[in-house]
Amino acid sequence: MKRRTFLLLPTLPTLPIMAAFEPAAWAREPVYPAVSSGQPLSFPRDYGAHPPYRTEWWYVTGWLQTDNGAPLGFQVTFFRSRPPLDDADPSHFAPTQLLFADAALSDPRVGRLQHDQHAARSGFGLAAASETDTDVFIDDWSMRRDTDGRYRISIAAADFTFQFTLRPAHPVLLNGAAGYSRKGPLPEEASYYYSEPWLQVDGILTGSTTPGKPGADPTEHPRHVRGHAWLDHEWSSAMLADGAVGWDWIGIDLDDGGALMAFQIRDKAGRKFWAGGTLRDASGSTRALAPESVGFAPLRWWRSPHTGTRYPVAMRVDAGDLHLILKPLMDDQEVDSRLSTGTVYWEGAVFASHAADDANRTGTTHESSAAKPLGHGYLELTGYFQRLEL
């Protein structure tokens, strides 16, 4: 969502790749297929890529714990984009598919987000995304799904490396109406969208955790980590509506074994333009959340020292009859991916707690009014740096 980034990829990252091609290649924009309701998802096929659509991503966020108990957050996202290239162009060098990837590590002992990014056009052994199952790579970054459902993620970033296995513990969660997820008032403002909450993570994380040592040897300090993760896979040809600027999104693994995905798309004044979500309870019962039943309210703002952008890093989220207070693992979780997807946004690990009973009754709350713990997950905040443009 997504984000994470929702289905948007700005034109910025395509410019260096496209600059070498003749304008004639862009003479006729391809016909992108529309997203429509009533089209059931089919697995394992829909774990794979959908090249005819404009934009797609596989988005993994999660909480890790080292053997000594230190909490960490991580994020890995692979994006696929079909640029507006004339399908009649016969050149084998025409970049018919572009791939981007982001990876990040949130370690409170470092105190800042560690982040890296990749971008390449598909083909020539440099990058590819399989259409039959999840199997996407850019150079030595990869995410692959085995036939038993386990995902294998391998990332060699500048300051860290991930070698993780993610094992599913629950069925796939279809968002919206059986995987058709509305993102606005018009039917075509939608995506195909499913999630896999509660993926069980096991693997090796390497990298320096010494504050003030950016660029350290990423082979330092190999650590065994375990945890849980959330995967979103989403594809569409739609853009945000003209009146929308960005979104707030959460994916929360609830401590009772349930799961919550919720989002709010904001207008230019910061108000709710559209919203939605999916709630799976501890018994496995799932229900879609209507736009009027979802709301995000800022509790505390943080200003980035890197870009000057203000983000509501602590939030109250109302999702049906569930009321949450979100607090960040650390404030500095801003992602600057202008060299890949072209965006700047906040994407961070958060604690989720039940909103206190007095806040539920009065409708007012603050960051400290949380009651018992509810779960852990990720919060994504886009469109605060600038409006996201396709």
pLDDT band at 385; cut points 50, 70, 90: confident
Return the pLDDT at 24: 45
Least confident residue range of 127-136, 217-226, 231-240: 217-226
- Predicted confidence at residue 92, as pLDDT, reads 55
Q: What share of the chain is helix, strand, coil (3-state, %, to 5)?
A: 5, 50, 45
Q: Which residues 6+ apart lie within 8 Å of 97 measured at CB?
A: 51, 80, 81, 82, 121, 122, 123, 129
What pLDDT is attached to residue 13? 39
| Strand 173-174, strand 141-145: pairing | unpaired
pTM of the predicted structure, to 2 decimals: 0.87
- Tell whether 40 is covered by a domain: yes
Q: Which long-range contacts (CB under 8 A, 24 or more apart) does 289-295 make?
A: 289/262, 289/319, 289/320, 293/318, 293/319, 293/320, 294/262, 294/263, 294/264, 294/318, 294/319, 294/320, 295/264
Position 3 in a domain: no
Q: How far apart are CA 385 and CA 347, in angstroms?
A: 13
Residue 356 clears pLDDT 60, i.e. is over it: yes
C-alpha radius of gyration, the chain, whole number = 20
Residue 22 has pLDDT above 90, yes or no: no
| % of the chain at pLDDT higher than 70 | 81
Whole-angstrom distance, CA of residue 222 vs CA of residue 175: 37
Closest CA to 164 of 133, 134, 131, 200: 200
Does residue 173 form part of some domain? yes
- Number of domains within the chain: 1
Residue 257 · residue 376 · CB < 8 Å: no
Phi-psi region of 256 (alpha: psi -120 to 50; beta: other; left: phi over 0): alpha
Structural domain harbouring 98: 14-381
pLDDT tens per residue across span 239-285: 678 888 899 999 999 999 999 999 999 999 999 999 999 999 999 99
Q: Classify residue 2: in a domain, yes or no.
A: no
Computed over every residue of the chain, the mean pLDDT equals 86
Residue 8 lies in a domain: no
In a domain, 4, yes or no: no
Is 51 inside a domain boundary? Answer: yes
Place of tokens 């060299």: 339
Helices (H) and strands (E) in the chain, counts: 2, 23
Q: Are 172 and 199 in contact (CB under 8 A)?
A: no
CATH of the domain at 298: 2.40.370.10
Q: How many CA atoms lie within 13 A of 63 on its CB side?
A: 23
Query: Do the domain assignments include residue 185?
Result: yes
